Structure 1
Amino acid sequence: MSKNKQQLIELACKGDKQALENLLVICQPDIKRFARRTCSSSEDIDDAVQIALWQLYRKISMLKTVATFSSWLFRIVERECYRLLRIRNSENIDSGFDFDSLKTAYTDIDLKIDLINAILVLPIIYREVLILRDIREYSSLEVADQLGINVEAVKSRFHRARMLIKEKINSRKLSSF
């Protein structure tokens, strides 16, 4: 990593907006190149790059060391590519949960309110795993370490939390008609 890039990362972590903007410009070609190898379609590449840049912008201050910057950033892109692939695959298989009809049934604010409410009513053991995995983007191993449980328990609780939220949103959607 060049000294200039290392300095930009350090400054961006400390909240320097100009350094962060420069870092976003510098990182975009590398992110796009990586996404081309990882994503399944050209549409997904652009989406993954945008999400990665957005996550970089939002969460750079959480980066613990400059040395982990590249792996952290590429892990974001990789996760996003796989997430987009799962969405594509689930569109081809009827999963019983239709996001397209969800868009017509909700306004954005209604959906956000329902999601927040669904998360708030989750039992704490599911809520804390969901927040650490989906919102803070910790790995399963990091969540397990933080909560003092094993990785299998993290995965199980995470899956259960998502299923409970999906059920809550589905029941809310049906009752709004």
Structure 2
Amino acid sequence: MPPTELIASARNGDAAAITSLLAVAQPDIRRYARATCRTADVDDAVQDALCLLHRHIGSLRAISAFSGWLFAVVRRECLRLARRGFGQAAPLEELGEQAEIAVRPDHELRLDLAAAIQSLPAHYREALVLRDLEELTIDEIAARLETTRETVKARLRRARTLAREYLAR
């Protein structure tokens, strides 16, 4: 992140400091946009965030809040761009292997799904089966497994990720 003196000068309206701040902050903005936005929206989010930084740096209350403020701007831009694209058809290139899965016969999909679930470690498999097959709530699963809600949510998230990776092979 940029030094506090640069942020302070930019906040006070120094044009050269604003230009330098934009140049210094751009790689961080791009990195965060790549992690937050859809691939197609990264460049737009970076450009919009840089424009907002240029226009609103003077409204920054605390210099120490710069990085949090900047990342909030990027996150909002990514959400705005995602909402704008909501409901539009995705290009076929982005669908990739999902299209291959969609045309497979149901019996093959069932076998693959059963194999994916069976490949999970027991604690992940148990949480996934209780939630997605037995349709228990998070609280019911936590009570049955004698663990916390957070643990159940983490196990479900990890189990679904592992199953998705297994099916993508």
Q: TM-score, normalised by structure 2?
A: 0.51
Match of 1:80 in 2: 77
Q: Which runs of 4+ in 1 moved over 2 A?
A: none
Aligned to 1:40: 38
RMSD: 1.2
CA distance in structure 1 between the aligned counterparts of 2:76 and 2:87, rounded to whole angstroms:
16
Q: Distance in 2 between matches of 1:64 and 1:23?
A: 17
Question: Are 1:51 and 2:52 an aligned pair?
Answer: no
The residue identity in structure 1 corresponding to 2:43 is D
Q: Alpha-carbon deviations, 1:4-55, whole Å to 9, x = none?
A: x2101000010000001000000000000000000012x3000000000000
- The structure having more radius of gyration, on CA atoms, is 2
Aligned residues: 89
2: distance between equivalents of 1:64 and 1:50? Answer: 23
Contiguous gaps of at least 5 residues in structure 2:
90-169
State the identity as a percent.
47
Deviation at 1:91, TM superposition (A): 3.3
**Whole-angstrom distance in 1 between the partners of 2:88 and 2:76:** 18
Q: Structure 1 stretch 54-63 or stretch 81-90: which is displaced more?
A: 81-90
SS in 2 for 1:91: coil
Cα distance, 1:87 vs structure 2 = 1.1
Pick aligned residue for 1:26 from 11, 24, 32: 24
Which residue in the other structure is 1:147 paired with?
none
Structure 1 spans left out of the alignment, 5+ residues: 93-177
User: So what's the TM-score if we normalise by structure 1?
Assistant: 0.48
d(CA) in 1 for partners of 2:34 and 2:6?
Answer: 25
